[in-house]
Amino acid sequence: QSVLRFLASLPKAELHLHIEGTLEPELMFELAQRNHALDSLPCKTLQEMKAAYNFQDLQSFLNLYYAGCAVLRTDQDFYDLTMAYLRRAKADNVVHTEIFFDPQTHTQRGVPLKCVIEGIHRAQEEGQRTLGITSCLILSFLRDLGPEAAMQTLNEAEPFLGHITGVGLDSCELGFPPGVFQEVFQKAKTLGLKRVAHAGEEGPAQYIWEALQKLDVQRIDHGVKCLEDRKLIESLEASEMPLTVCPLSNLELKVYSGELEKRMSELLSTDLCITINSDDPAYFGGYLNQNYLWLIQNLGLDSQRVVDLHANSFRASFLSQDAKTQHC
Ligand code: HPA
Ligand code: ZN
């Protein structure tokens, strides 16, 4: 109880959050009804849907996550989704959040990119005005669709770059190394966009090297497989490269299966710049504070360590230097 009060008292930043992964089953069914899209869902009832949230690995989660996206059709849907997340984030005392979205998941289904971006953006503005939460948006490429589709997506997004802070790389990792996206990340850089990439979640440490060397990223998303490579850890420490770690996600997707606690302890005993995040909280059973709570309860983190981790999140954010100093 006092732990929860302590967590609630800390104003926090979140750096690894997929907006599609905040779609709670209740809202999913509400939007399905509103859009006459119940047939597009893999489950007919809320209870069935919730029962299906039981994953073996990343792919089994992605299958359900993409299926759930089928109910998102209008800019109002994206607004409602984002507002619901921001209200929930407020309850966890999140004051700054950097939100991923997967444009290809929606444009592939015929939803215009403009609807997606403008719906989310309108909620971001409303969230800043009424909840006091600052946020930015990171356009994430689906790595399994390949580099040409990513480049096409970046080109389509050019009219909306005023609403976008950076690009990311997500979806099925094994078999899709980061290096093949070098050209599209290079283009993103010339457009003035920040770069981050999921690497070393299920994929090997080599994928983290590639993201660093070929994509010129400012953060590694997940990155927990760096534990396989001592030299990589040293390099990440020396460059103060942030990792956006998501404990409940790793737990639910069976990354490091039986030994997650041990591996997380190892990670936290290094000098790496670790940040704590919720990834897809509607699917993994907890928003940001629950991710901190899991570490406290399972690894015995003390409050000073929690304060350090939360400061890392602001340090690793894309906030201005002034804003960072205010928060740390
Ligand atoms: N990994 C890869 N792709 C994703 C994830 C993730 O954790 N969440 C949403 N898309
Ligand atoms: Zn993720």
Q: Which CATH number goes with the domain that contains 206?
A: 3.20.20.140
Average pLDDT over the chain reads 97
pLDDT of residue 157: 98
Q: How confident is the model at residue 1 (pLDDT cuts 50, 70, 90)?
A: confident
pLDDT of residue 138: 99
Q: What pLDDT, in 10s, does the model give residues 136-174?
A: 999 999 999 999 999 999 999 999 999 999 999 999 999
| 201 labelled catalytic | yes
| Number of compact structural domains in the chain | 1
Give strand pairing partners of 134: 96
CA of 181 to the centre of ligand 1 (A): 17
| 243, part of any domain | yes
Cα–Cα dist 103/113, whole Å: 7
Please name the residue whose Cα sits nearest to atom 10 of ligand 1.
Answer: 171
- Structural element, H or E, at residue 273: strand 273-276
Q: Calculate what percentage of the chain has a pLDDT beyond 70.
A: 100
Please name the residue whose Cα sits nearest to atom 3 of ligand 1.
Answer: 171
Whether the CB-CB separation of 139 and 153 falls below 8 Å is answered with yes
| 322, part of any domain | no
CA of 221 to the centre of ligand 2 (A): 7
The boundaries of the domain holding residue 6 are 2-317
| 139, part of any domain | yes
| 305, part of any domain | yes
- Of 24, 201, 202, 210, the active-site residue reads 201
Please name the residue whose Cα sits nearest to atom 2 of ligand 1.
Answer: 171
Q: What pLDDT, in 10s, does the model give residues 52-111?
A: 999 999 999 999 999 999 999 999 999 999 999 999 999 999 999 999 999 999 999 999
| 86, part of any domain | yes
Q: What pLDDT, in 10s, does the model give residues 262-289?
A: 999 999 999 999 999 999 999 999 999 9
pLDDT of residue 187: 98
Whether the CB-CB separation of 125 and 144 falls below 8 Å is answered with no
| 250, part of any domain | yes
Q: Is the CB of 279 under 6 A from ligand 1?
A: yes
Report residue 125 as tokens: 């503005």
Q: Which amino acid is at 181?
A: F
Q: Within 10 A of 129 (CB to CB), how many other CB atoms are there? A: 9
| 327, part of any domain | no
Whether the CB-CB separation of 137 and 121 falls below 8 Å is answered with yes
Whether the CB-CB separation of 245 and 223 falls below 8 Å is answered with yes
Phi, psi of 279, rounded to the nearest 5 degrees: 65, -85
pLDDT of residue 328: 81
| 328, part of any domain | no
Cα–Cα dist 120/126, whole Å: 10
